[in-house]
């Protein structure tokens, strides 16, 4: 392997060609991540034996042990894919960019602001000196550790206030600063005999200042205070954090706009090994066409105009059509993982594309039976073959759109109901979650399709209106239909914002 100034993988990521020796120094380095680094360095496919040899030359590990480990770690998973005996990289996969960052092969997208030099730490009082209300206030406002008991917190409050207090006042002092406190006004009845706090006849809590536990509790609070002060970042004011958040959102929105204009096509051929018929579904224009026999040459030429190819076993299909994959993005609709362990008894369920289409889109007979389609082909029943291929393409389209909306696909089998993240949806692209946030902030409803996949001719014919509700002090949000019932987000097949029409005078 000869180091080059650039290669197609690194050009797609916008990084310099890395050295494997540099990536190996990262704390996130393991054999799988370093496989990605080796492919980035090469800029093309490699066999596992070639990768193992490169590892050995880089001084990482002997080639024999590397090869055995790479075979065990399931290397053919996004962003790595297998092509015969060689392994290649999809540089457009979101995971590839993330691994480049984690391995130190690219800088962060946002450079951190230079932090001012930290101030000299102020010496804290010794454990023999009584606590001040200011010290206790500074710690409690940042949250008391979950391991602190009610008795410890009570000792701290009484020590800071001079040794005696009404129980209700002590509890009110703590609750005014943090909601995460176990202290209650009736806790004294549970404290064992000999504790530093006793309850006087008038009901006041009184602290025994000479108790041996006091100095230990003071020291624990002041250690916590020193830690809290080290966490303080004067360079990250709320205004600066908000400005950075806006910058990140603007950058993500700009990238999402670039992805939105890409031309996408679903390709589905039969037979899969040597296609003699092919259906092309233009995702953006919502158009579908089928090509049989000699027409396949024209289909290959038409597919050259698209930026994103979508379908099953795309690399093999593209090779049969003579498509150049250089610079194109591939959305492989095969299951993100092959099997699922269920019911705690190590039963293994094989995951198929049909399962994902059924669970995600509610389509029962999603893909045609190969034997029946072969019968159509052998007997010249091209009309039936075309209709079946087009129905297959529409099922794949429904799965693709569901994955883009949820950034995941759904599998339902018996009692199993789970979601699998998909590699073809970039994190910067809008999802149902981001649409719900926008709708809630704008106080406008969403138009959604619930139930089975939308029809091809009129995809919004079964749409309903839903409102977004959100917890006042939490992150959870949910959809409510016009009938007041909650709508499960996983059941949503399509969604879009409802934009109010402009008034005539606007």
Question: Is there a contact between 175 and 181 (Cβ–Cβ < 8 Å)?
Answer: yes
Instruction: Provide, rounded to the nearest whole percent, the portion of the chain with pLDDT above 90.
Output: 50
Say how far apart CA 470 and CA 468 lie, in whole Å. Answer: 7
Judge if 401 and 453 occupy the same domain.
Answer: no
Instruction: Identify the DSSP state of 171.
Output: H
For residue 307, the model assigns a pLDDT of: 92
Q: What is the mean pLDDT of residues 134-142?
A: 88
Residues across the chain = 506
256 in any annotated domain: no
Judge if 272 and 158 occupy the same domain.
Answer: no
Q: What is the mean pLDDT of residues 493-498?
A: 92
Q: Which two tokens stand for residue 443?
A: 């106080």
222-267 pLDDT, tens digit per residue, is 989 888 887 766 656 677 778 888 888 898 899 999 999 999 999 9
Task: Write the CB contacts of 184 (distance below 8 Å, at least 6 apart in sequence).
Answer: 150, 171
Judge if 340 and 411 occupy the same domain.
Answer: yes
446-466 pLDDT, tens digit per residue, is 999 998 888 899 999 999 999
Within 10 angstroms of residue 449's Cβ, the number of other Cβ atoms is 22
- Structural domain ending residue among the three candidates 395, 420, 445: 420
For residue 239, the model assigns a pLDDT of: 78
Q: What is the mean pLDDT of residues 169-181?
A: 87
Judge if 16 and 151 occupy the same domain.
Answer: no
Judge if 386 and 436 occupy the same domain.
Answer: no
3 in any annotated domain: no
Residue 247 has φ and ψ, to the nearest 5°, of -65, -45
- Structural domain ending residue among the three candidates 81, 102, 123: 102
11-36 pLDDT, tens digit per residue, is 888 899 999 999 999 988 999 999 99
226 in any annotated domain: yes
Which pairs count as long-range contacts for 432-440, CB under 8 Å and 24+ apart, including other chains? Answer: 432/405, 432/406, 432/489, 432/492, 432/495, 435/495, 435/496, 435/497, 436/468, 436/477, 436/479, 436/489, 437/477, 438/497, 439/467, 439/468, 439/497, 440/468, 440/469, 440/470, 440/477
Q: What does pLDDT average to over the chain?
A: 87
For residue 203, the model assigns a pLDDT of: 87
286 in any annotated domain: yes
Q: Is the pLDDT of residue 117 over 80?
A: no
Judge if 268 and 190 occupy the same domain.
Answer: no
Least confident range from 62-71, 90-99, 104-113, 480-489: namely 104-113
Q: Which two tokens stand for residue 210?
A: 């000479």
Q: What is the mean pLDDT of residues 60-66?
A: 92
Residue 14 sits in a domain whose CATH number is: 1.10.10
379-410 pLDDT, tens digit per residue, is 999 999 999 999 999 999 999 999 999 999 99
For residue 234, the model assigns a pLDDT of: 60
254 in any annotated domain: no
- Structural domain ending residue among the three candidates 185, 211, 231: 231
Q: Is the pLDDT of residue 56 over 90?
A: yes
Range of the domain at 298: 264-420
Q: What is the mean pLDDT of residues 48-63?
A: 93
For residue 205, the model assigns a pLDDT of: 93
Say how far apart CA 358 and CA 79 lie, in whole Å. Answer: 26
The maximal CA–CA distance of the chain, rounded, in angstroms, is 101
Least confident range from 101-105, 161-165, 214-218: namely 161-165
422-439 pLDDT, tens digit per residue, is 988 888 999 999 999 999
Judge if 271 and 202 occupy the same domain.
Answer: no
40 in any annotated domain: yes
More confidently predicted of 346 and 252 = 252
Judge if 334 and 383 occupy the same domain.
Answer: yes
Instruction: Provide, rounded to the nearest whole percent, the portion of the chain with pLDDT above 70.
Output: 93
Could you give the number of structural domains in the chain? 4
In the sheet that 329-332 helps form, which strands lie side by side, from edge to edge?
Answer: 287-292, 277-282, 264-270, 308-311, 329-332
250 in any annotated domain: no
Q: Is the pLDDT of residue 473 over 70?
A: no
For residue 408, the model assigns a pLDDT of: 95
Within 10 angstroms of residue 443's Cβ, the number of other Cβ atoms is 8
Judge if 21 and 88 occupy the same domain.
Answer: yes
Judge if 148 and 188 occupy the same domain.
Answer: yes
For residue 119, the model assigns a pLDDT of: 59
123 in any annotated domain: no
Judge if 439 and 483 occupy the same domain.
Answer: yes
């Amino acid at each position: 392997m000869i180091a080059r100034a650039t290669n197609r993988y690194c050009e797609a990521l916008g990084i310099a060609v890395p050295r494997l020796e540099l990536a190996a120094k990262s704390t996130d380095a393991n054999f799988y991540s370093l496989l990605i680094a080796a492919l980035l360095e090469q800029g093309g496919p490699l066999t596992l034996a070639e990768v193992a040899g490169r590892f050995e030359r880089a001084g990482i590990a002997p080639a024999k042990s590397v090869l055995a480990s790479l075979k065990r770690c399931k290397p053919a998973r996004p962003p790595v894919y297998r092509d015969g005996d060689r392994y290649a990289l999809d540089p457009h996969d979101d995971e590839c960019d993330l691994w480049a960052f984690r391995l130190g092969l690219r800088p962060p997208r946002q450079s951190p602001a230079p932090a001012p030099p930290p101030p000299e730490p102020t010496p804290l009082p010794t454990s023999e000196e009584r606590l001040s209300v200011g010290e206790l206030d500074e710690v409690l406002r940042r949250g008391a550790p979950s391991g602190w008991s009610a008795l410890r917190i009570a000792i701290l409050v009484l020590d800071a206030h001079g040794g005696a207090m009404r129980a209700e006042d002590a509890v009110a002092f703590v609750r005014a600063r943090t909601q995460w406190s176990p202290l209650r006004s009736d806790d004294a009845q549970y404290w064992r005999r000999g504790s530093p706090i006793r309850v006087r006849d008038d009901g006041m809590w009184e602290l025994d200042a000479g108790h041996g536990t006091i100095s230990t509790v003071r020291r624990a609070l002041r250690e916590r205070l020193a830690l809290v002060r080290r966490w303080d970042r004067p360079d990250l004011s709320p205004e600066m954090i908000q400005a950075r958040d806006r910058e990140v959102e603007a950058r993500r929105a700009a990238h999402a706009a670039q992805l939105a204009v890409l031309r996408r096509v679903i390709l589905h051929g039969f037979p899969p090994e040597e296609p003699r018929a092919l259906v092309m579904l233009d995702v953006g224009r919502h158009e579908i066409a089928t090509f049989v026999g000699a027409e396949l040459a024209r289909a290959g030429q038409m597919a050259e105009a698209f930026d994103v190819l979508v379908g099953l076993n795309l690399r093999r299909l593209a090779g049969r059509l003579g498509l150049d994959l250089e610079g194109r993005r591939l959305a492989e609709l095969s299951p993100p993982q092959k099997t699922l362990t269920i019911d705690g008894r190590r039963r293994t369920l094989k995951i198929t594309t049909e399962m994902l289409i059924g669970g995600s889109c509610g389509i029962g007979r999603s893909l045609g039976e190969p034997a029946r389609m072969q019968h159509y082909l052998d007997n010249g029943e091209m009309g039936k073959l075309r209709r079946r291929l087009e129905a297959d393409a529409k099922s794949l389209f429904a799965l693709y759109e569901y994955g883009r909306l949820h950034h995941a696909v759904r599998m339902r089998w018996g009692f199993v109901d789970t979601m699998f993240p998909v590699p073809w949806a970039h994190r910067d692209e809008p999802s149902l979650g981001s649409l719900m946030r926008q709708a809630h902030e704008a106080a406008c409803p969403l138009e959604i399709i619930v139930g089975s996949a939308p029809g091809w001719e009129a995809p919004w014919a079964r749409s309903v209106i839903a409102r977004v509700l959100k917890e006042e002090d939490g992150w959870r949000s949910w959809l409510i239909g016009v009938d007041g019932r909650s709508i499960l987000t996983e059941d949503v097949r399509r969604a879009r914002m409802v934009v109010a029409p402009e008034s005539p005078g606007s």
